[in-house]
Amino acid sequence: MKIGVPREIKNNENRVAITPAGVHTLVGAGHEVYIETRAGEGSGFTDDDFIQAGAQILTSAADVWEQTDMVIKVKEPLPEEYGYFRKDLILFTYLHLAPLPELTKTLMDSGVTAIAYETVQLPDGSLPLLTPMSEVAGRMSIQVGAHHLERPHQGLGVLLGGVPGVPAAKVVVVGGGTVGLNAARIALGMGANVSILDINPSRLAYIDEVYQGRIQTVMSNDYNLYEQLQDCDLLIGAVLIPGARTPKIVKTDMVKSMKKGSVIVDVAIDQGGSVETIDRITTHDNPTYEKFGVVHYAVANMPGAVPRTSTFALTNVTIPYALQIANKGAKQAVRDNGALARGVNVMEGKLTYEAVAKSLDFPYTPLADVIHA
């Protein structure tokens, strides 16, 4: 199979969908890899690095999209890339379609087979291709939150860990999954007072046992969340429903009750966001805006700011699945691998992921009806 890797064009998206080691793996299995020139620069890989691993370098994105059977990316295609879609193309990338009706419709109309990293799901419910980026984003959320708590960035002027004689900041994390636990771990390590809210008592019990009470665990409901936010300095939105639009857990009146200069970092923004007052996606160039006196951070590609770490972490888990698709073709690969089948969002013009269909109110077709037709 001919596999293409275009350069990412999202604002400050410096990751790349493959490493030289990934190229070596695919080429060693008999496939051809075509990479757009300079695609790896943001992650520290030169064209020569890829050439030495067996890739061929093409001079334009159009060449990569048009000359290959499968395109692997990091982020969802932007409108300027929609024209490259075609019936015989496999697209393997993060898609986050629930808040993106235009992209979803364009994928369906074009006949692209679109497989989303974020919905590949193992039988135990884990999301192997989302987990590494959730770990990165969770840890980064505290880093950027602490930065924006500084007064020059419109924050309250609070040091996360405090100093002797001065209380540490209070960090509230909504969601106890991979993002939330990684955020809490870093916040705790920086000396903050940390609370996690979740709707799953078993998850809260696990966190309490692991951290021996150093992280306060709170059952998530409107009443408790409102109480927690009264003296919160940094709020981390870490809610995820696989493939679906994120519910608005943090209501406007809760945000209004927060201290002036406190900070919200909503890691769930790429699935629509969990905070009612976040009404737009921001970028690494202009990451925050202020509303009701609270600093809102809503960057949808947080790991793109640490691309060297993120690219290695991502490709460690994506390349084995890409190899399965390349070896067998998309239909046979998803027949053979139930986890990969969960990743199929669009195939043969049909929307095959139910949570996305419900979020967008689009017609849903079970994948089995498509691959066994």
Cβ atoms of 210 and 184 within 8 Å: the answer is no
Angle (CA) 214-274-260 rounded to 5° is: 70
Longest dimension (CA), the chain: 69
Q: Which residues pair with 174 in a beta bridge?
A: 197, 237
Q: Which of 198, 233, 266, 270 is catalytic?
A: 270
Is 31 in the active site?
Answer: no
Amino acid at 126: S
Q: Which of 96, 198, 266, 296 is catalytic?
A: 96
Amino acid at 35: I
Angle (CA) 135-139-144 rounded to 5° is: 140
Q: Is the dihedral of CA 230, 175, 290, 156 positive or negative?
A: positive
Is 96 in the active site?
Answer: yes
Cβ atoms of 254 and 230 within 8 Å: the answer is no
Please give the helix or strand (H or E) that residue 225 lies within, else none. helix 222-229
- Nearest CA to 288 out of 184, 149, 171 is that of 149
Active-site positions read 96, 270
